[in-house]
Amino acid sequence: MYELLKKDGRAKRGRFTTVHGVIETPVFMNVGTVAAIKGAVSTDDLRGIKTQVELSNTYHLHVRPGDEVVKKLGGLHKFMNWDKPILTDSGGFQVFSLAKLRKIKEEGVHFNSHIDGHKIFMGPEQSMQIQSNLASTIAMAFDECPSSVADRKYMTNSVERTTRWLKRCKEEMARLNSLPDTINPHQMLFGINQGGIYEDIRIAHAQQIAELNLDGYAVGGLAVGESHEEMYRILDAVVPQLPENKPTYLMGVGTPANILEAVDRGVDFFDCVYPSRNGRHGHVYTNHGKMNLFNAKYELDDRPIEEGCNCPACRSYSRAYIRHLLKAKEMLGMRLCVLHNLYFYNTMMEEIRDAIDAGEFQAYKKRKLEGMEQK
């Protein structure tokens, strides 16, 4: 259940209560694609860096180790030893971006696994079944992610099918949640708005899915190559069409600046691979801009990545040491950078929530953006 605690301009401060605990929003979900944050980060580590929600991937876990295996082991929470909320995406995005030789039909998508090429069929019912086996807190609806350059006709047909698929997802989840051997009978469903960069298609679709009284609503198919300005324009058009008393999730976004701009437009939930991916390459976020720790100027720099940062990397280690680890290809180097970056994102979300609570979001956003542009 979502409670809208406060508004500051269009920015929303909310509280989402789930069977696995409370999520304070706006929130950044930490991405663990195959049930692990890349960079040798464990769920025990997540407890020390303010992570509220872990996000795992339906398609990847279906291919390996198999959702039936995870179900036999008691579901994803038990498998990973994580008792807080988990969101699983529907697999739709991966089916459309990774899988080979796919065929889209009304019943779903036939495609070949990107691992070993074996044939897989996934439609709304299969995606819901897999997510029910994984027993995540929040399941995402199975949608088509059309190419952002798809023409109007294709986009209109695709979005209409996504709506029909969403209704099937809702029915199937209700059925699965009522079965006696379902691990999480309180699983929740978020619908996904699509429509590329066509504002009118997006708005009509948002109005249709808003009527289905789902637990939350996502905006999908953005941050796939369009400009930041286009993304903000779509958010300006779409977010007001989605129910204010439900969480709004902007999928796959983004940079700290993208998040600040989207919070300013009423978005509650975010996820992105940037902090972990950049961390694995020695790129770390600070309040004074991004740093590349491979840079020679850090060779003798005995300061932490960011002075005053309370993350596991900055509490104990210097830029010079982490640079050495990265150069020597020691896994600890990557790990420390990923921990710092996730801590940076999670702390920024905490600051955003405090700023909205205090009615000072605009001043905070300006200060944060100006600081990050320094380097």
Q: Hey, which residues are catalytic here?
A: 89, 271
Residue 273: CB minimum distance to Zn ion, A = 19
Query: In the complex, what is the shortest distance from the CB of residue 213 to Zn ion, in angstroms, rounded to a whole number?
Result: 42
Taking CB under 5 A as the criterion, the residue among 12, 280, 340, 368 binding Zn ion is 340
Q: Report helix angle 199-210 to 228-238, nearest 10.
A: 40
Rounded Cα distance, 76 and 181, in Å? 15
Tally Cβ neighbours within 10 Å of residue 203.
17
- Least Å distance, CB 36 to Zn ion, is 21
Stretch that binds Zn ion, among 80-88, 90-98, 212-220, 337-345 (CB under 5 A): 337-345
- Per rule CB under 5 A, is residue 70 in the interface with Zn ion? no
Tokens of 193: 């708005």
Q: Which is nearer to Zn ion, 197 or 305 (CB)?
A: 305
Nearer to Zn ion, 159 or 309 (CB): 309
Q: Taking CA 260 as the corner, what is the angle to CA 187 and CA 344, rounded to the nearest 5 degrees?
A: 80
Q: 134 vs 339, which CB is nearer to Zn ion?
A: 339
Q: How far is the CB of 301 from Zn ion (least distance, A)?
A: 14
The residue ranges of DSSP E strands in the chain, in sequence order, are 2-8, 11-18, 21-25, 27-31, 54-57, 86-89, 100-104, 109-112, 119-122, 138-140, 188-193, 216-219, 248-250, 269-271, 283-286, 289-292
- The nearest distance, CB 315 to Zn ion, in angstroms, is 8
- Supply the minimum distance, in Å, between the C-beta of residue 319 and Zn ion: 11
Segment contacting Zn ion (CB under 5 A): 59-67, 70-78, 116-124, 300-308?
A: 300-308
The residues, ordered by sequence, that sit 6+ positions from 186 with a Cβ below 8 Å of its Cβ are 18, 19, 177
- Structural tokens at position 85: 């909320």
**Total residues at the site for Zn ion (CB under 5 A)?**
6
When the beta carbons of 335 and 340 are compared against Zn ion, the nearer one is 340
Minimal distance, residue 79 CB to Zn ion, in Å: 29
Q: What residues between 311 and 330 interact with Zn ion by CB under 5 A?
A: 311, 313-314
> If binding is defined by CB under 5 A, does position 309 make contact with Zn ion?
yes
The Cβ of residue 285 has, within 10 Å, a number of other Cβ atoms equal to 25
Contact 95, 89 (CB under 8 A): no
Is 159 a binding residue for Zn ion by CB under 5 A? The answer is: no
**CB-wise, 135 or 305, nearer to Zn ion?**
305
CA–CA–CA angle 70, 36, 271 (5° rounding): 110
Residue 263, SS3 per DSSP:
helix
Say how far apart CA 364 and CA 67 lie, in whole Å. Answer: 43
Return the number of the residue (117 or 371) whose C-beta is nearest Zn ion: 371
Angle between helices 152-177 and 124-134 (to 10 degrees): 50
For the chain, the 3-state helix, strand and coil shares in percent, each to the nearest 5, are 45, 20, 35
Q: What separation in angstroms does the CA of 157 have from each of 238, 244, 314, 318?
A: 19, 27, 51, 54
- Would you say 323 or 340 has its CB closer to Zn ion? 340
By CB under 5 A, tell whether 336 contacts Zn ion: no
Site of interaction with Zn ion (CB under 5 A)? 305, 309, 311, 313-314, 340
